[in-house]
Amino acid sequence: MTANGWLQYAVYSLVLLVTVRPVGIYLERVLEGRRTWLHPVLRPVEGLIYKLCGVNAEAEMSWREYAFAMLGLSAVTMVFTYAIERLQFYLPWNPQHLANVGTDLAFNTAASFTTNTNWQFYTPESTMSYLTEMLGLATHNFWSAAVGIVVAVALVRGIKRTQSPTIGNFWVDMTRTTLYILIPACVLYALLLVWQGVPQNLHAYTSAHTVEGATQTIGQGPVAGQEAIKMLGTNGGGFFNANSAHPYENPTPFSNFLEILSIFIIPAGLTFMLGRMTGSPGHGWAVFAAMFALFTAGFATAYWAESHPYSAIHGATQTATATLPTGNYEGKEVRFGIADSSLFATITTDASCGAVNGMHDSFTPLGGMVPLANIMLGEVVFGGVGAGLYGMLIFVVLSVFIAGLMVGRTPEYLGKKIESFDVKMAMLYTLIFTFIVLVFTAVFVLLPNVGLGTLTNSGPHGFSEVLYAFTSGAGNNGSAFAGLGPNWWWNIAMGFDMLIGRFLMMIPVLALAGNLAMKKSVPPSPGTFPVNTALFTVLLVGVVLIVGALTFFPALSLGPILEHLLLKSGQLF
Amino acid sequence: MHSVWKTSILFTLVTAVLLGLVYPLLLTGVAHVLFPRQAAGSLILRNGQVIGSELIAQSFTADKYFHPRPSAAGNGYDATNSGGSNLAQSNAKLAQRIQGDIDRLAKENPGRPVPIDLVTTSGSGLDPDITPDDAYFQAPRVAKARALTEDAVRALIAQHTEGRTLGLLGEARVNVLELNLALDDLSK
């Protein structure tokens, strides 16, 4: 570890902190339907979308109507993307004449982008045409990001409203999120990326005659526009196989800084919006503090682990010098080094982004455990756009419930009594995730032809590859221990892993939102557990860690922890 | 229920045009006007011919050139098949590969520790950079092959070393292709 590495963490944190308030205020304005400075330009477009789609913008929806609309849109967009993949050979903007995508891979990819996971069982630059990238995949980056945000906002409305049968209008929320938040931010961001060196063109791949006389075909395309929403929408699906490690996706340390900032900027702003909308700014900051503490712990662990020399080799510089902040460089890029790679890996899995700027599969056992554990904790450390906030609010419900049990009275949360139905929905949310991750992993490691035969690494790390895949899928993250080779079973199983992990978990959230909205507000009493204090932050962090550890510690022991201990004793596989 | 499907289909089509066509095509146009070189992939031309991209590593094997980091992209430096080795530290193949490279380099450069980035594959397989340590490690070989003084080569490395952005972000690095082109210009 170097002082400069920690300084980068500090500067990043500071910049993030500065954005929280303005971003939160802007999000609230947009989602409460108030006027923004973009209205003169975008308000007519908003009205046009409602008109073309037959949306009554004044109508409010119950949680069930909201959920049906969300599921309906997701189903239609998934079929839309599947169709484009299957037909890309016949469609325009395919200068490399790439073939139609096979059925199982097309299903997996459509599920992957619909669920904001962006797991990729393919090499994009040799599989997907420019049209598929733009119209089939990048569109989903917008849609699925907006879906995450609107579900979180629906839940916040549920907390805020009293005796209300409705939680908002799905179509209006989707349109406003896309128009006033995602598109303007992406246009500006994409241009900054182009300035740094990210390509944006529709040319066929370039054929270069190299200095030593060989031929090198250089894959390019409309990268910048997709890169922007990929990061800002915490999607994470790369235009290239190497994702944000690829110099065309992430050419400089500055583009890298923008990318990690853009992962957290909306989720962090949402905590401020939570505080404002519920009239309890302190609560927003208490949630922010819990997230920030978990982020720092993750980064410290990953950075520490990745800075360690590789014990199985000798004769190379592995202690840091002024010009070489050395450590585990396998799978990492020189321009980022150890600090930025550790920071990126932590942030991308704290959130449900899943973009990578280094290969997690080649991280040290404990360094690679950080991203895995981050996803296992539910990606509630800022988290995916929207998904992180509603995931954390589930833990908040559990925390006030536990606090209520301790003092022996009905728990309350911001004036709402937390009752049996609410806790059931919260538990359903946590249990669905656990269930699918562990069951799928168990099945795949037990069937040699299905799972084990597809791995790059054996021993405990091979187990970690399978565990990471299903955790990443169910958590809608999309990062990977990428040594895994796909087959038909993987495509189908991961497809369902992602769909269940997205939609079966969103329904309890919306049900909770609807149920909370119906309730009366009770004024706080001396027995109410305050949710805007440091004590609450500590309890919340504790609940997140305990639920995560109780659920996944045995699996982690068989994977990264065992690998670490064996590697230390000199055992290779 | 009927209206949910209808609205879903209409919303998909309307926003797909906006997000999947208007947004990227408009951006392509604006990027082309504002940053034409970057938008086209930061290509480097010599005598009207594209010889590579400033951002993409290409293979160099001759003694007279600086070598990039080893590549796991396709069969090496395949810019249509980017990626890392994905080998874990506990994988014997990784330890053997790295140790084999270290031993070979140590034999050619007795008494000098081998920079770790020279024997590890990058995440993309297309890392255009090496660390300054790595460049200085290779300087004696390059100088000898070109009948240049080692000092001249070291001066060139220093000239092509890019420090941390704003003195803070990332790590110091040397772009291999640019350094090699500068060497060729020097030898002309």
Q: Inform me whether the C-beta atom of residue B10 falls under 8 Å from chain A C-beta atoms.
A: yes
Mean local confidence (pLDDT), A559-563: 97
Tell me the pLDDT band of A450, cut-offs 50, 70 and 90: confident
| pLDDT tens by residue, B30-70 | 999 999 999 999 999 999 999 999 999 999 999 999 999 99
- In this model, does residue A449 exceed pLDDT 90? no
Cα separation, A472 vs A569, whole angstroms: 29
Query: Is the Cβ–Cβ distance between A455 and A483 less than 8 Å?
Result: yes
pLDDT at B2 over 80: no
* Confidence label for B105 from pLDDT (cuts 50, 70 and 90): very high
Q: Do residues A100 and A87 touch, judged by C-beta distance below 8 A?
A: yes
Whether A13 shows a pLDDT value over 70: the answer reads: yes
Chain B nearest-CA distance from A531, in A, is 37
Sign of CA dihedral A250, A255, A256, A259: negative
Question: Count of A–B CB contacts within 8 Å?
Answer: 389
Q: Cα–Cα distances in Å, from A567 out to A310, A312, A366, A442, A495?
A: 10, 8, 11, 24, 33
- Per-residue pLDDT tens for A300-354? 999 999 999 999 999 888 777 666 678 999 999 999 999 999 999 999 999 999 9
Flag whether pLDDT at A225 surpasses 90.
yes
Q: Token pair 């500090």 is at which residue?
A: A10
Q: What would the two tokens of residue A443 be? A: 């099945």
pLDDT given at position A407: 84
- Does the structure show a pLDDT above 80 at A448? no
Q: Do B115 and A317 touch (CB under 8 A)?
A: yes
Residue A491 corresponds to which tokens in the numbers above? 């495509």
Task: With both helix axes pointing from N to C terminus, report the angle between A253-277 and A337-350 in degrees, rounded to the nearest 10.
Answer: 30
Determine which helix (DSSP H) or strand (DSSP E) holds B67, and give its type and residue range: none
* B76 and B56 Cβ atoms separated by less than 8 Å: no
| Phi-psi map region of B169: left, alpha, beta (phi>0 left; psi -120 to 50 alpha) | beta
Q: What residues form DSSP beta bridges with B44?
A: B52
> Does the distance separating the beta carbons of B99 and A315 come in below 8 Å?
yes
Query: In the structure, what pLDDT confidence band is assigned to residue A80 with cuts at 50, 70 and 90?
Result: very high
d(CA B148, CA A187): 49
Write a three-state SS string for B73-103: CCCCCCCCCCCCCCCCCCCHHHHHHHHHHHH
Q: Most B CBs within 10 Å: which of A15, A126, A333, A363, as the mutation test of the B interface?
A: A333
Is there a contact between A362 and B122 if contact means CB atoms under 8 Å apart? no
Task: Give the tokens for residue B99.
Answer: 């140790």
Alpha-carbon gap: A524 to the closest alpha carbon of chain B (Å): 40
Torsion from C-alpha of A517, A523, A524, A526, nearest 10 degrees: -150
Residues in chain B: 188
Does residue A193 have a pLDDT over 90? yes
Asked if residue A1 has pLDDT above 90, the reply is: no
Question: How many residues does this entry show for chain A?
Answer: 573
Instruction: Please check whether residue B95 touches A, CB under 8 A.
Output: yes
Q: Which residues on A lie below 8 Å from B4 (Cβ)?
A: 68-69, 72
Domain boundaries, chain B: 1-40, 42-186
Residue A364 is classified by DSSP as -
The ipTM, to two decimals, is 0.97
Contact B88 A49 (CB under 8 A): no
Alpha-carbon dihedral B82, A351, A101, A106, rounded to 10 degrees = 160
Q: Is A521 helix (H, G, I), strand (E, B) or coil?
A: coil
Contact A364, A560 (CB under 8 A): no
Residue type, A572: L
Mean pLDDT of the region B147-171: 96
Distance from CA of A499 to the nearest CA of B (A): 18
Q: What pLDDT shows up at residue A483? A: 84
| pLDDT the model gives residue A11 | 98
Distance between CA atoms of B61 and B104, rounded to whole angstroms?
Answer: 15
What DSSP state is assigned to residue A68? H
Judged against a pLDDT cut of 60, whether residue B1 lies above it is answered with no
User: With 0-12 CB in 10 A as exposed, 13-18 as middle and 19+ as buried, what is A45?
Assistant: middle
Q: How confident is the model at residue A454 (pLDDT cuts 50, 70, 90)?
A: confident
Smallest CA–CA separation between A256 and chain B, in Å? Answer: 8
Is residue B29 within 8 angstroms of chain A, CB to CB? Answer: no
Contact between A209 and B50 using a beta-carbon 8 Å cutoff? yes
What average pLDDT does range A453-471 have in this prediction?
92
Indicate yes or no: CB of B90 within 8 angstroms of CB of A566. Answer: yes
Look up residue B183 and give its amino acid: L
Sign of CA dihedral A49, B15, A53, A160: negative
Interface test with A, best of B19, B65, B96 (most A CBs within 10 A): B19
Q: What is the pLDDT of residues A40-64, one digit of tens each?
A: 999 999 999 999 999 999 999 999 9
Nearest CA in chain B to A73: B8
Angle between helices A223-232 and A183-196 (to 10 degrees): 120
User: How many other β-carbons are positioned within 10 Å of the β-carbon of residue A300?
Assistant: 16
For residue A56, the chain B residues in CB contact (below 8 A) are none
Residue percentage of chain A with pLDDT more than 90: 91
Q: Does B141 touch chain A (CB under 8 A)?
A: no
Per residue in A481-506, pLDDT tens? 988 888 999 999 999 999 999 999 99
Q: Hey, are the CB atoms on B28 and A456 less than 8 Å from each other?
A: no
Return d(Cα A114, Cα B91) in angstroms, integer: 35
Nearest partner of A263 among A61, A412, A118, judged by Cα: A118
Q: Do B80 and A125 touch (CB under 8 A)?
A: yes
pLDDT tens for residues A368-413?
Answer: 999 999 999 999 999 999 999 999 999 999 999 999 988 888 899 9
B147 touches chain A (CB under 8 A): no
Question: Closest partner residue to B34 among A138, A191, A240, by Cβ?
Answer: A191
- Which residue among A171, A254, A312 places its CB closest to the CB of B165? A254
Structure tokens, A483: 């040594």
The 10s digit of each residue's pLDDT in A194-220 is 999 999 999 999 999 999 999 999 999
Containing A98, the helix (H) or strand (E) segment is none
Q: What is the pLDDT of residue A391?
A: 95
CA distance A409 to A333: 54
CA-based nearest distance B56→chain A, Å:
7
User: Going along A313-375, which residue ranges are E strands?
Assistant: 316-317
Residue B162, Cβ neighbours under 10 Å: how many?
17
Interchain contact B181–A (C-beta under 8 A)? yes
pLDDT digits (tens, 9 = 90+) for A109-137: 999 999 999 999 999 999 999 999 999 99
CA distance B153 to chain A (A): 18
Average pLDDT, integer, range A174-181: 97
Q: Could you give the CA distance from residue A432 to residue A438 in angstroms, rounded to a whole number?
A: 10
The dihedral sign for the CA sequence B102, B105, B110, B113: negative
pLDDT at A527: 79
